[in-house]
């Protein structure tokens, strides 16, 4: 029995900052970001948008496109690292929004939860749901990857920002992709990228003395929530390379394959912190699979030979065939954390839908900081072309609106109170409760026609 993805939908901001505008205002050579990293645009949420909004909009698109009633869904599992509450999962915020359209109690018997492991959380959510359907083939599950990738202004990660959600329908006898059981895994507990709980002593706040109550806080320390991570870019790249290589060869060993696994893949969907990160990492896998191709390059050291190898016709052809299709959308959306690998999947499928294929197998190379990588593969199923066509992915990307640098910074600092573009036919955040003592901080969402 086959189990996998039958449908897929995407939601992303209507706003973006052209990457050359960011480069010019940060005194960065634009070609360094455009040609060097493959970046074109950086999607950014409007005032009324957050992780819940993107997840809800993608979910409602899928239910409508597939004509599925929520009562048919057994699970809605969300992978995210941009939760909006320390207890209540994003998945639970979605239920009343779905019931607003489909009726009271229409999601009452649906199991929901969030899974968090940096950018790989949605892969974990998907594999959990795949296993569930393998045991209960009559059931259907929804998996959602939704995130807002936000970095400090003028930081080394600023140009890798992005946001959006990808939602997938998981069921038996899937229409798009069926997944192999084999998964290569590699994990290590590291601090390459993380979002710590931060505190400040009341003594450091001038208005507070002698640990008096402040904003309802009785403790001497006040916790500070910050969306932006603590990260070490160079170390994070090293962890990314090491985990992915290890997971790939763990996968290969389980397959007992003598030839390179990627030779069997039509394309590869990778987690892309920035558009060209995949091709910069993939070279390390290829070098071990084809050592002679590297050794024959000019150079005194292995590093010099590897650099020369990346410019070879052999490697460029691999990048064009295996990686480029998944980069097309990434260049125009940016990093969306848990959704990055699935945005790459959608991008490649949409790119390939009018082209001749040489293989019906797809490779997945996932990564989450902290750190973990998973490598697995899927097989294309008969209706994948008509199903991916429903996303109108590339056409929808061209409907987005460029913003200027002043607007971008105001959005980043949350200085704007009015949306840049009036919301229409989408879920919006309309406010956060500040008065009712038993609902302080409650986030209120509605579908705005």
List per-residue pLDDT tens for the chain, 449 residues long: 999 999 999 999 999 999 999 999 999 999 999 999 999 999 999 999 999 999 999 999 999 999 999 999 999 999 999 999 999 999 999 999 999 999 999 999 999 999 999 999 999 999 999 999 999 999 999 999 999 999 999 999 999 999 999 999 999 999 999 999 999 999 999 999 999 988 888 888 877 777 888 778 878 888 888 899 999 999 999 999 999 999 999 999 999 988 999 999 999 999 999 999 999 999 999 999 999 999 999 999 999 999 999 999 999 999 999 999 999 999 999 999 999 999 999 999 999 999 999 999 999 999 999 999 999 999 999 999 999 999 999 999 999 999 999 999 999 999 999 999 999 999 999 999 999 999 999 999 999 99
Enter the tokens of residue 74: 């057994």
Residue extents of the structural domains in the chain = 3-192+232-448, 195-224
Length of the chain, in residues: 449
Half-sphere exposure of 223 (CA within 13 A, CB side): 9
Output the CA angle 279-281-285, nearest 5 degrees. 105
pLDDT of residue 354: 93
Cα torsion for 59, 123, 49, 6, to the nearest 10°?
Answer: -20
Cα torsion for 105, 107, 113, 118, to the nearest 10°?
Answer: -130
Half-sphere exposure of 84 (CA within 13 A, CB side): 23
Which conformational region is residue 290 in: left (phi greater than 0), alpha (psi within -120 to 50 degrees), or beta? beta
Q: Residues 5, 169: contact at Cβ < 8 Å?
A: yes
Give CA–CA dist 243/374, Å, rounded: 8
Cα torsion for 238, 241, 246, 249, to the nearest 10°?
Answer: -160
**Buried b or exposed e, range 214-228, using 16+ CB within 10 angstroms:** eeeeeeeebeeeeeb
Give CA–CA dist 250/242, Å, rounded: 12
SS3 132: helix
Q: Residues 384, 349: contact at Cβ < 8 Å?
A: yes
Q: Which residues contact 94 (CB under 8 A, 6 or more apart)?
A: 52, 55, 56, 59, 76, 78, 112, 144
Give CA–CA dist 369/189, Å, rounded: 9
| Cis amide linkage into residue 118, ω under 30° from 0 | no
pLDDT of residue 223: 83
Nearest to 58 by CA among 155, 159, 164: 164
Measured in degrees and rounded to the nearest 5, phi and psi for residue 396 equal -65, -35
Q: Which residues contact 66 (CB under 8 A, 6 or more apart)?
A: 6, 7, 169
Give CA–CA dist 310/307, Å, rounded: 5
Give CA–CA dist 211/200, Å, rounded: 12
Q: CATH says 3-192+232-448 is which class?
A: alpha beta
Residue 5 parent element (H or E): strand 3-11
State the alpha helices, DSSP H only, in 217-369.
233-255, 277-289, 291-295, 302-309, 313-318, 324-333, 340-352
pLDDT of residue 212: 82
């Amino acid at each position: 029995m086959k189990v996998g993805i039958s449908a897929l939908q995407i939601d992303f901001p209507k706003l973006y900052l052209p990457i050359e505008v960011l480069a010019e205002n940060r005194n960065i050579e634009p070609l360094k970001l455009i040609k060097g990293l493959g970046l074109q645009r950086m999607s950014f949420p409007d005032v009324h948008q957050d992780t819940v909004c993107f997840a809800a909009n993608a979910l409602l698109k899928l239910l409508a496109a597939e004509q599925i009633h929520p009562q048919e869904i057994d699970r809605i599992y969300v992978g995210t690292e941009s939760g909006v509450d320390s207890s209540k999962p994003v998945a639970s915020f979605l239920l009343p929004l779905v019931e607003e359209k489909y009726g009271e109690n229409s999601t009452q018997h649906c199991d929901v939860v969030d899974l968090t492991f940096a950018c790989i959380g949605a892969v974990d959510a998907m594999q959990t749901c795949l296993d569930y359907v393998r045991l209960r083939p009559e059931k259907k599950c929804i998996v959602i990857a939704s995130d807002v990738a936000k970095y400090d202004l003028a930081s080394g990660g600023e140009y890798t920002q992005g946001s959006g959600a990808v939602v997938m329908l998981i069921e038996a006898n899937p229409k798009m992709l069926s997944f192999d059981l084999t998964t290569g895994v590699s994990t290590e507990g590291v601090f390459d990228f993380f979002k710590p709980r931060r505190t400040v002593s009341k003594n450091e706040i001038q208005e507070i003395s002698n640990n008096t109550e402040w904003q309802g806080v009785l403790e001497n320390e006040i916790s500070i929530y910050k969306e932006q991570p603590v990260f070490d870019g160079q170390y994070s790249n090293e962890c990314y390379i090491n985990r992915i290589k290890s997971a790939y060869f763990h996968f290969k060993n389980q397959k007992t394959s003598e030839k390179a696994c990627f030779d069997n893949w039509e394309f590869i969907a990778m987690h892309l912190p920035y558009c060209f990160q995949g091709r910069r990492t993939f070279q390390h896998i290829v070098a071990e699979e084809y050592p002679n191709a590297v050794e024959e390059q000019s150079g005194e050291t292995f590093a010099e030979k590897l650099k020369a190898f990346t410019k070879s016709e052999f490697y460029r052809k691999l990048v064009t065939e295996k990686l480029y299709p998944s980069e097309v959308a990434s260049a125009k959306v940016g990093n969306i954390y848990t959704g990055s690998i699935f945005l790459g999947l959608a991008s490649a499928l949409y790119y390939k839908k009018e082209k001749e294929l040489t293989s019906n197998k797809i490779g997945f190379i996932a990564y989450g900081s902290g750190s973990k990588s998973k490598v697995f593969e899927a097989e294309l199923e008969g209706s994948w072309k008509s199903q991916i066509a429903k996303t109108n992915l590339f056409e929808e990307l061209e409907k987005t609106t460029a913003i200027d640098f002043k607007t971008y910074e105001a959005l980043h600092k949350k200085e704007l109170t009015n949306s840049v573009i009036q919301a229409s036919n989408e879920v919006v955040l309309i406010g956060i409760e500040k008065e009712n003592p038993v609902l302080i901080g409650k986030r209120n969402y509605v579908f705005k026609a």
